[in-house]
Amino acid sequence: MRFARIGQFLYRRAENLLALMLAVMFLAFMAQVIFRYFLNFPIGWTSELTVIMWLWLVLWGAAFVLREDEEIRFDLVYGSVNPAVRRVMTALFAMALVIIYALSFPAVYDYVTFMKVQSTAYLKIRFDYLFSIYLLFAVAAILRYGWLVWSAMRGDVTGRDAEHMGSGL
């Protein structure tokens, strides 16, 4: 199917970008250690870049790379009920998340666009550019959990079932 191939291509590019962000964060961290402890010349932009990459890495990964079955959950109650109850729980909690993200989105958008008045100390990157990743994350979360609600209502949730759950120990 053509859409599946396009989706896989976009997913791989999202993973590539995530790996690039991790590499940039690691290199900035290593530069920070070398300059501070070996050259006795601390530089601030490396710390700033590391924090920026961490913010983008976490939100980009959660929005576009992390799959539903890879999310960390406390599923003690979820795993102990039958599949029909699990489907209802999935639909209710996903709907709650859609509502929370959707209701908060206008305020978040206002805050992010307002932050154009400030920029970072060393790299001089405007905060609205830095925080814009949260807008992408929120939209992706609304779409993801909206799809989960739709899937749960149709009865084809492929979430975790009791025989595939484990304590992780």
pLDDT 10s digits, 9-27: 999 999 999 999 999 999 9
Alpha-carbon distance 27 to 24, whole Å?
5
3-state helix, strand, coil in the chain (%, to 5): 80, 0, 20
If you average pLDDT over residues 91-115, what whole number do you get?
96
Here the tokens at position 148 are 């989960």
pLDDT 10s digits, 29-84: 999 999 999 999 989 899 999 999 999 999 999 999 998 778 777 778 887 888 88
Question: Bigger pLDDT: 15 or 156?
Answer: 15
Q: How large is the angle between the packed helices 83-114 and 127-154, nearest 10 degrees?
A: 160
Q: If pLDDT is split at 50, 70 and 90, which confidence band does 157 have?
A: low
Q: How many CB atoms lie within 10 A of CB 14?
A: 15
DSSP, collapsed to helix, strand or coil, labels residue 126 as: strand
Alpha-carbon distance 90 to 94, whole Å?
6
